[in-house]
Amino acid sequence: MHPSNRRSTAIPLGLVAALAMSGCVQYHPVPLDAPGLATDFAARRLDDPGLRRFLSGNGLTPPTSSWTPRTLALVAVFFHPGLDLSRAAWREAVAGEITAGGRPAAAVGVSGDHAARPDEGKSTPWSVALNADLSMELGRARGARLARARALSLAAKLRVAADAWRLAGEAQAAGMALVVAHGAVENATSERFTLDTVLTLTRLRYEQGAASVAEVSRAEADVLAAGVAVSTAEQAQLGARASLAQSLGLPFAGVETIAVVADSGATCGTIDSLPLAAVTAAALQTRPDVGAQLATYAGAELDVRLAVAEQYPDLTLGPSLGWDQGIGRWTLNVGFARLMLGRNRGSIAQAEARRSGAAALVDSVQQSVATELARSYAECRRALEETVAVDSVWKGANTRLSQTTRAFERGETGALDLALARLDIARVRAAVSTARGHLIAANVALERALPPGKGNPMGAWPDVTELTEATRAPRP
């Protein structure tokens, strides 16, 4: 082969290779540092500088001693790993828009051949050709694919907000549960202390011959039962603290000693000024979980459009420039790829079935929201009625205690009667605490059911899609 002929084939190959590789993204490995993740988790604390910046940036003063459940709700948004997973899914969906908007890949190649001898009238036995293979999508498939990717990206973004709202509500409920559990421990401890006094006085009256053995045994059994109740309440408090740590994405040590106090005000008390029908209509329009499912349905609708578009074949163009034994030539090949003789009926039917399923899920989510709000309203009313009832009992118990105290001071009754009146107060206080706990739980459930934003006591809601690991404090 003549050297000039060899160069004529080598240069195009090098040029094609350089063009094909230009602009390629380089691979950068990111190994998982499992020990580092465990270290980061163990080091998380509520005094984290990044957390305090996040709270301050959302209009909240970082607490120095007592935390409220609503503040703890934003702590969960900052720390909980479930949101990192949701954000990763959203970023993947955004990247899917780039993939969906891509054009069909083009192919370029160089061919050469050598004849045994030159054809008559030609100067060389060598022929070289530069070939291209281009595709054009018909049926507007690219537009349908891109619209579908955008709908799924919106659904993923709304799902981040929905997950954040759900995790915030769970953290708020866990904080309220700890408040209730702490009150139960105090009530059980107070009752046991009062029962100890009753037992002491009962034994004294037994020694004086004014009480029977059965009365002493009953008082002793009450003290033992009260001790078990204290132990059970303390165990429940420990479990509530562990649940709070899990809902916040913190180690148990991070919440082991914190104090949680109930939020001021009660959303349940405002339901008479918030008509259920209007609140339900607003929730169906603004809650992110409903929006995410609607966007998912839009993606399913575009699945059908894409399946219909894909029944059309792709138009392929194959231009070629050649040097045929010293004579320049150009050719153009035209054809159709992916000829679907069945008109893609199977894929279209599958897409239509998925669309029907997505519509059913929208209906299910909307019904769930409406049911959740109706149940929250009913629970609020029941809890408010229970609170009024126990408040009446509480007033009666205090009246009896005052009467017994005055009678004791006048010498008309003994110390045991006064202790029993105080025991009655302790037990009624426990009932009041239980009723308050029911009201707190109903209050939290209503706040979780209401749409975020204006009108919800949770207040303004931060943009949770952009909160990343870089926002948090670096590793120690």
Q: What tokens does 42 get?
A: 């163990």
Local structure of 205: helix, strand or coil: helix
Go through the chain and tell me how many residues it has. Answer: 476
What's the predicted TM-score (pTM) here? 0.78
Q: How far apart are CA 248 and CA 183, in angstroms?
A: 21
CA nearest to 77, candidates 53, 51, 56, 57:
51
Backbone angles phi, psi at 462, to 5 degrees: -75, 160
pLDDT of residue 6: 39
For the segment 238-285, what is each residue's pLDDT rounded down to a tens digit?
999 999 999 999 999 989 888 998 875 577 888 888 889 988 998 898
349 — pLDDT class (breaks 50, 70, 90)? very high
Q: State the average pLDDT over residues 164-193.
A: 91
With a cut of 50, say whether residue 5 has pLDDT above it: no
- Give the lowest-confidence range in 8-17, 47-56, 312-321: 8-17
Q: How far apart are CA 238 and CA 236, in angstroms?
A: 5
pLDDT of residue 117: 79
Contact in structure between 266 and 446 (CB atoms under 8 Å): no
Residue 297: which H helix or E strand, with range?
helix 288-309
Q: What tokens does 59 get?
A: 């209009």
Contact in structure between 199 and 416 (CB atoms under 8 Å): no
Contact in structure between 73 and 173 (CB atoms under 8 Å): no
Q: In what order do the strands lie in the sheet with 126-136?
A: 107-114, 126-136, 314-324, 327-337
What percentage of the chain reaches a pLDDT higher than 90?
A: 34
Bridge partners for 112 per DSSP = 128
With a cut of 70, say whether residue 476 has pLDDT above it: no
CA nearest to 223, candidates 257, 194, 255:
194
Specify the residue for token string 């575009």: 302
CA nearest to 143, candidates 102, 190, 88, 193:
102
For the segment 95-144, what is each residue's pLDDT rounded down to a tens digit?
998 888 888 778 888 888 888 777 776 778 888 888 888 888 777 788 88
Bridge partners for 321 per DSSP = 130, 330
Compare 343 and 225 and report the one with higher pLDDT.
Answer: 225
10 — pLDDT class (breaks 50, 70, 90)? very low
With a cut of 60, say whether residue 218 has pLDDT above it: yes
For the segment 355-367, what is each residue's pLDDT rounded down to a tens digit?
999 999 999 999 9
With a cut of 70, say whether residue 333 has pLDDT above it: yes
15 — pLDDT class (breaks 50, 70, 90)? low
For the segment 403-436, what is each residue's pLDDT rounded down to a tens digit?
999 998 888 888 888 898 988 998 898 898 888 8
pLDDT of residue 4: 41
Domain boundaries, the chain: 62-104+140-312+344-458
Q: How far apart are CA 232 and CA 185, in angstroms?
A: 9
C-alpha dist (Å) from residue 386 to 184, 379, 393: 18, 10, 11
Local structure of 429: helix, strand or coil: helix
Amino acid letter, 75: V
How is domain 62-104+140-312+344-458 classified at the CATH fold level? Outer membrane efflux proteins (OEP) (1.20.1600)
